[in-house]
Amino acid sequence: MSPRVAPLIEIFSSIQGEGIWLGCRQIFLRFAGCNLTCSYCDTPRDIPPHCRWEVRPGQREFMLLPNPMTPHEVASKVRELNPVIHHSISLTGGEPLLHTSFLLELIPLLKGTRRGVYLETNGTLPDSLAQLLPFVDIIAMDIKLPGTANILPCWQEHRAFLKLASTKHLFVKLVVSEESKQEEIEMALELICSVGDIPLVIQPVTTPDGKPRLNPQKAITWQSRALERLSDVRIIPQTHKFLGYL
């Protein structure tokens, strides 16, 4: 039987730039490939021939490693980034849940951080999450607004995913822009409230140089609406872009 392998874009140490764990130091494993095609996506769609691995944590010196990689190769590179100083290991992408079999082998090898495994996901693959749930500690889940991402609706997938994910430390992220439709934001709120009082982050689409593409008045109005139904609703852009972190 061939060993499980996965293509990665990069392995590096930086701060979390989004969501309620903003600023925490993490080791990022950025997986290649995604099942969606969001219009605002800033991750390359092609599978790269090499994974960039940061040789020393946070120093931005990279070495190229051939793709795809085995779980033991990835775990060994993570160990060299000094997990003990890190809050958690972020599984990000792309969509990391496309590599569930690989992750089932990899995660038990990832030890030493303070809070374990942090999954960043588009929230559309509930069957994959069900397999990985016992091994994940924190989940940052997107609910995709179809009109903003310019994709087909994923409400059913999101509902099934949210129910499973709510058994973990979870927050939901809504990426919004000037084009976002009020009725889709209401549908997302309805969905979240049907599962529980889950922390929500409203994240304005952010340009590559770190400028939010959303009128602040619009964002605060949507936050007011969400705060009528949820107790923790924050407006947080992608901060790593303007802070200059990876």
- C-alpha–C-alpha distance, residues 8 and 30, integer Å: 6
Please calculate the CA angle 57-62-67 and round it to the nearest 5 degrees: 110
89: closest CA among 2, 139, 15, 29?
29
Please calculate the CA angle 100-106-109 and round it to the nearest 5 degrees: 155
7: contact with ligand SF4 by CB under 6 A: no
212: contact with ligand SF4 by CB under 6 A: no
Closer residue to ligand SF4 in complex, CB, 140/219:
140
Of 6-14, 36-44, 74-82, 238-246, which part binds ligand SF4 (CB under 6 A)? 36-44
Q: How far is the CB of 196 from ligand SF4 (least distance, A)?
A: 23
47: contact with ligand SF4 by CB under 6 A: no
148: contact with ligand SF4 by CB under 6 A: no
User: Which tokens belong to 185?
Assistant: 């934001």
The burial of 187, by beta-carbon neighbours within 10 Å (0-12 exposed, 13-18 middle, 19 or more buried), is given as: middle
Closer residue to ligand SF4 in complex, CB, 113/188:
188
34: contact with ligand SF4 by CB under 6 A: yes
Residues in contact with ligand SF4 by the rule CB under 6 A = 34, 36-38, 41, 43, 93-95, 122
